[in-house]
Amino acid sequence: MAIRVGLSLDEPQVEQTKCWAWSIFPLIIWTRILGVNLSDISNSSAKRHHWLIIAYGSFCLLCHLAGQIDILYYLQGKLKMGSLERSGGLNFETSTATWNSIIDFINYAVHGIGTHVLMLTVIRKRWINLMETFRRSEYMFSDERYIRIRKVATYGVAYVILLILGLISVSLGHHLAVGTTSGHRIFISFMSTVSIIYPLTALVVFAIHCYVSSLLFESVQSEIHRNEIQLMNGRDQDVRLLMLTFKQRHILACKTVDSINHCFGWILLLSIPFFYLAVINSSFYLFGLDNIISMPDIAFTTFTVIHLIFVCFTADRVQIKVEMHLNFYGEFTVDSFISFLKAEDAIKELFRLQSHETLNGSQMQLMNSLISEMALTVPKISANGCFNVSKKLLPQVIGTSLTYFFILFQFEASEKNVTLTEN
């Protein structure tokens, strides 16, 4: 960030019965059920049961790891026998289709185990700092807003549970419909589906934090609009105090984005390549094979596409690119790319107020300085600093998926032609 100020300004104190930790409590409970202890800042019970929590978390990780190892061992055995099957029980006819399936299983396994390990290590270690950053902004929200956030968190947990149950039902129901007799094959499908629960939970936690961060930027815009009269007609001292208040709130909101990147950067770095591979593999399942398309193929393709879009647009909610320059007359202009974002709205509100002729020279100078600093600190969601996450990734995914789909399709067609020639 280009600017940092102390939080020494006096804010109106409103007695609150709700807080940040209370609003995301459903998420904390859910992650503990999964064996990931994301503790509150002042959680004394977690400290008392420290070793029990570690033991339970280790047990969950070992069960998850054992399930994925069993899947890979099953794939290895089937590959040696040359009888690897699709979800519908039909054997793959070419090595291209076989290896595409193996890579798909490995992709899901690495994503599931990798996310689980990151939640136990990186996210758990950085969670307290994330909680502390959002706690500093508690005065910017009312009890009603925290009740709303808690509802969103509850819906997020319910969404994870219902989606996993739905995918399990589709997978097991399909095996029953086609008459799969191998209990091990059914267990493989079950474990492959359950392993999604950790990446899905991590993405929901990430999305809720992005949502709250966007609300903070929205509150800055609302504060500017609410104090418009004081800005236009107030004394220099009052205007300066309001400007510093806006600046302080903007920095608080930007710090939440910094904390989100710090906490979830590795998750995004792991998830985005996973989605790339999953989209390629899924498109080949649906359009590159001659066999009948199965319901699990459709379900997992839909899951992949929807959640890739979900991650990109969630990140876009709290990031923006603003290009700003000073023209010949010393007036600011903005050329921005906007996607229902809240950080940009606060800056636009200041630009609107800047055009008022009631501002004197010193007030205009303060306004220009604040606009410049806010534009320089507009946040971006980043995958651990490697690339920015936004909806601009979607065209890249489409282009990459089409390219590799046609490559796989050509390999598939070539193998079939060779087989026909030999016969």
Confidence of residue 321 (pLDDT cuts 50, 70, 90): very low
Lowest mean pLDDT among 138-142, 300-304, 341-345, 382-386: 341-345
Tell me the average pLDDT of the chain.
Answer: 75
In this predicted structure, the answer to whether residue 16 has a pLDDT above a threshold of 60 is no
The better pLDDT of the pair 80, 232 is held by 80
- pLDDT tens column, 341-386: 444 555 455 544 444 444 555 555 666 666 666 666 667 888 888 8
332 backbone dihedrals φ, ψ, rounded to 5°: -90, 145
CA distance 34 to 95: 37
How many C-beta atoms surround the C-beta of residue 340 within 10 A? 10
Domain ranges of the chain: 20-422
Helix (H, G, I), strand (E, B), or coil: what is residue 91? strand
Confidence of residue 3 (pLDDT cuts 50, 70, 90): very low
Question: What is residue 414's predicted lDDT score, i.e. its pLDDT?
Answer: 76
Strand partners, 334: 324
Most confidently predicted of 184-188, 278-282, 358-362? 278-282
Question: What is residue 395's predicted lDDT score, i.e. its pLDDT?
Answer: 86
Residues in the chain: 423
CA distance 114 to 268: 11
Lowest mean pLDDT among 15-19, 378-382, 389-393: 15-19
CA distance 179 to 120: 39
- E-strand stretches of 20-62: none
Structure tokens that stand for 298 in this block: 């459709």
In this predicted structure, the answer to whether residue 15 has a pLDDT above a threshold of 60 is no
Strand partners, 322: 336
- pLDDT tens column, 161-175: 999 999 998 888 877
Q: Are 48 and 226 within 8 A, CB to CB?
A: no
Q: Is the pTM of this model over 0.75?
A: yes
207-218 mean pLDDT: 87
Torsion of CA 306, 312, 317, 323, to 10 degrees: -150
